[in-house]
Structure formats: structure tokens, C-alpha cells
């Protein structure tokens, strides 16, 4: 992402998602975290949510390698 604010938002979305995500549980899957927690905090579409997850993971991997 080119915009620093959007990068920071993607990182926040990733952090909140992975704090609340539990693999194997349908009530704590990524979509449920989006519906029940993130969408109320930061209104966005589900496509934007998954794009932020992808971008946030990419950015955190880049920052951890340096």
C-alpha cells in the first residue's frame, strides 16, 4: 500500500483479527471476527477486510525480516 495511514490500518486490522481468531472454531473464524468485532469498530466491506489482512501480513513479514 502506498498510503501510510492505510498500512497502519491494515496492521491494526491484522492485530485485532489474530488476537480474536481461533482456528477450527466457526464462532471465532476470520469472518466472524469481522462481523462481530471489526465491522463495529471500523466500518468496512468484507472485501476491504480481507485485503487489509493480506496487506498487513505482507508488511509485517517485510518489517520482521529487516
- Digit-coded pLDDT (tens) for 25-58: 888 899 999 999 999 999 999 999 999 998 877 7
pLDDT of residue 43: 93
Count of beta carbons in the 10 Å neighbourhood of residue 2: 5
DSSP code at position 28: G
Q: Which residues, in sequence order, are CB contacts of 57 under 8 Å at separation 6+? A: 14
C-alpha cell at 49: 477486510
Distance CA(56)–CA(52), nearest Å, equals 6
Burial of 29 (0-12, 13-18, 19+ CB in 10 A): middle
Single pTM value for the model: 0.79
Amino acid at each position: 500500500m502506498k498510503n501510510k495511514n492505510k498500512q497502519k490500518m491494515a496492521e491494526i486490522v491484522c492485530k485485532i483479527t489474530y488476537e480474536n481468531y481461533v482456528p477450527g472454531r466457526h464462532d471465532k473464524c476470520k469472518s466472524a471476527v469481522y462481523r462481530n468485532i471489526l465491522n463495529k469498530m471500523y466500518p468496512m466491506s468484507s472485501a476491504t477486510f480481507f485485503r487489509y489482512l493480506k496487506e498487513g501480513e505482507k508488511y509485517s513479514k517485510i518489517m520482521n525480516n529487516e
